[in-house]
């Protein structure tokens, strides 16, 4: 038996593990605003059930306003009336287009009227209204500006845009826990309802993060015999895979001029209010510029997500920090140079729900009945994302630092 001489202090009780510990019933949550985009989608009720693991819809755009000349230039004279374009389906007889001049010119562009369309070859009338004839450059842009028809003329040819089929899939997400029944029955510090219940809480956060990761990085796929048991396996669509039109290279050092360029592109289509989901350094740049150059409103709590607003000349962004957009470990590649401009009205969370079986996120208890003196639980979601109107979203990349 060990003896102690002299004054007893608390170190003796600690060494003897006899000191009563005061342990809070609640263990502090790590990263409570994790998966901010999923939080916003759910709280704003941008969600609905589906009856099949495949979900399809149609999208339709307006008839394009721009066309392009072919690789051969067209001379600047009235006799040069044949123009070959890259896509003749954009034109019908009676259509008119202008030939844009260089940016430094203040003169009006030449107006051209189409009289015959044969495949990609247009027969045209040059210099309508006598503004002057220009050379139509090889690969030059042509701006459609309506049409003109003769008095008492025949009905013009109809021109419509096509419906484009789109598809996404519900993906099966699973997160498991495994406890002995002895562990389930034991009282532990920091878990007044038991470790099993506490573990569910933490695993739900991890599960939510998996969904948020799929929304950012997922790619649509379906392999009907692709699983380990040759059963179907599907993955859902994510933002990064969808965005292809509006992409801006920040060029390394992010500047206010580049932010303006990104805003101009991001608000070209869709509403004037969107979400800017951004890496920390990008929001740091906007914060640094806020006092002198940008109109930024203070942060407000929206369903547990702190959102500031920044006003640009083209629209208003709600600024949302996403820690998933962070640099890689050990200075390796990561996602710390990215930001997404998102039209939340065009994003929905979908889950499979049919024939009385709801596959929205839920905890299933004791799913394996194998005779063991324990319980294996799982958090399960069969869900995915519908991201519509690709042009309403935009991406900024290659931000390594920012100009103060």
Structure tokens at 383: 């869900």
Q: With 70 as the cut, is the pLDDT of residue 109 above it? A: yes
Q: How far apart are CA 327 and CA 331, in angstroms?
A: 7
Q: With 60 as the cut, is the pLDDT of residue 28 above it? A: no
The string of pLDDT tens digits covering residues 158-209 is: 998 889 999 999 999 999 999 999 999 999 888 888 999 999 999 999 999 9
Q: How far apart are CA 295 and CA 106, in angstroms?
A: 33
Compute the mean pLDDT over every residue in the chain, rounded to the nearest whole number: 91
- Residue 356, judged by CB atoms within 10 A of its CB (0-12, 13-18, 19+), counts as exposed
**Mean pLDDT for the stretch of residues 271-287:** 94
**pLDDT score recorded for residue 31:** 55
**pLDDT score recorded for residue 341:** 98
Angstrom distances, CA of residue 390 to CA of 129, 247, 259: 39, 11, 20
Q: Are 235 and 221 a contacting pair, CB within 8 Å?
A: yes
- Angle, alpha carbons 382-384-390 (nearest 5°): 170
Q: With 70 as the cut, is the pLDDT of residue 243 above it? A: yes
Q: How far apart are CA 185 and CA 192, in angstroms?
A: 11
3-state secondary structure string, 48-106? EEECCCEEEEEECCCCCCEEEECCCCECCCCCCCEEEECCHHHCCCCEEEEECCCCCCC
Of 386, 391, 389, residue with least CA distance to 348? 386
Q: How far apart are CA 254 and CA 257, in angstroms?
A: 8
The string of pLDDT tens digits covering residues 341-395 is: 999 999 999 999 999 999 999 999 999 989 999 999 999 999 999 999 999 999 9
**pLDDT score recorded for residue 27:** 55
Q: Which helix (H) or strand (E) holds 177?
A: strand 171-180
Q: How far is CA 29 from the centre of its chain?
A: 27
Structure tokens at 42: 């759910």
**CATH among 1.10.12, 3.90.1690, 3.40.120, 3.30.565 for 23-62+162-404:** 3.90.1690
**How many alpha carbons fall within 13 Å on the CB side of residue 203?**
21
pTM of the model: 0.85
The string of pLDDT tens digits covering residues 111-157 is: 999 999 999 999 999 999 999 999 999 999 999 999 999 999 999 99
Angstrom distances, CA of residue 229 to CA of 159, 224, 225, 233, 235: 50, 11, 8, 10, 17
Provide CB contacts within 8 A for 8, sequence distance 6+.
Answer: none
What Rg do the C-alpha atoms of the chain give, in angstroms? Answer: 30
Q: How confident is the model at residue 1 (pLDDT cuts 50, 70, 90)?
A: low
Structure tokens at 52: 């099949």
**pLDDT score recorded for residue 25:** 61
Provide CB contacts within 8 A for 235, sequence distance 6+.
Answer: 169, 171, 214, 218, 219, 220, 221
- In this structure, of 54-68, 185-199, 279-293, the range with the lowest mean pLDDT score is 279-293
Q: Are 113 and 128 a contacting pair, CB within 8 Å?
A: yes
H helix intervals, 218-322: 239-242, 256-266, 280-290
Q: Are 76 and 52 a contacting pair, CB within 8 Å?
A: no
Of 278, 205, 282, residue with least CA distance to 39? 205
Domain ranges across the chain: 23-62+162-404, 66-147
- In total, the chain counts a number of residues equal to 404
**Mean pLDDT for the stretch of residues 289-302:** 70
Q: How far apart are CA 325 and CA 57, in angstroms?
A: 30
**pLDDT score recorded for residue 8:** 74
């Amino acid at each position: 038996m060990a003896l102690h001489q002299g004054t007893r202090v608390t170190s003796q009780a600690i060494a003897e593990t006899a000191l009563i510990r005061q342990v809070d019933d609640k263990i502090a949550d790590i990263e409570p605003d994790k998966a901010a985009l999923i939080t916003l989608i759910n709280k704003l009720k941008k969600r609905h059930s589906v009856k099949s693991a495949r979900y399809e819809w149609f999208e339709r755009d307006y008839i394009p306003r721009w066309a392009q000349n072919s690789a051969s230039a067209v001379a600047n004279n009235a006799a040069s009336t044949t123009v070959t374009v890259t896509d003749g389906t954009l034109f019908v007889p009676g259509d008119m287009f202008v030939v844009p001049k260089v940016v430094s010119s203040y003169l009006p562009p030449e107006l051209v009227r189409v009289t015959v369309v044969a495949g990609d070859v247009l027969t045209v009338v040059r210099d309508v209204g006598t503004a002057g004839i220009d050379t139509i450059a090889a690969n030059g842009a042509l701006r459609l500006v309506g049409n003109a028809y003769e008095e008492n003329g025949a009905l013009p040819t109809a021109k419509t845009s096509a419906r484009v089929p789109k598809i996404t899939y519900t993906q099966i997400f699973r997160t498991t826990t495994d406890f002995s029944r002895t562990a389930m029955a034991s009282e532990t510090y920091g878990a007044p309802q038991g470790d099993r219940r506490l573990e569910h809480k933490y695993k739900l956060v991890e599960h939510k993060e998996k969904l948020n990761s799929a929304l950012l990085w997922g790619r649509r796929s379906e392999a009907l015999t692709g699983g380990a048991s040759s059963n179907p396996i599907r993955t859902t669509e994510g933002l990064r895979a969808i965005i292809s039109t509006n992409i801006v290279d920040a060029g390394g050092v992010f500047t206010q001029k580049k932010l303006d360029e990104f805003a101009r592109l991001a608000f070209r289509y869709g509403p004037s209010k969107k979400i800017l989901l951004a890496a920390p350094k990008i929001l740091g740049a906007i914060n640094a510029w806020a006092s002198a150059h940008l109109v930024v409103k203070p942060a407000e709590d929206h369903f547990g997500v702190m959102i500031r607003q920044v006003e640009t000349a083209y629209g208003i962004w709600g600024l949302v920090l996403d820690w998933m957009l962070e640099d890689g470990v050990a200075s390796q590649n990561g996602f710390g140079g990215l930001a997404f401009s998102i039209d939340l009205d065009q994003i929905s969370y979908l889950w499979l729900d049919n024939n009385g079986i709801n596959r929205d996120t839920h905890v299933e208890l004791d799913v394996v009945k194998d005779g063991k003196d324990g319980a294996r639980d799982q958090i399960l979601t069969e869900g995915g994302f519908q991201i519509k109107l690709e042009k309403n979203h935009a991406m900024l990349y290659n931000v390594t630092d920012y100009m103060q």
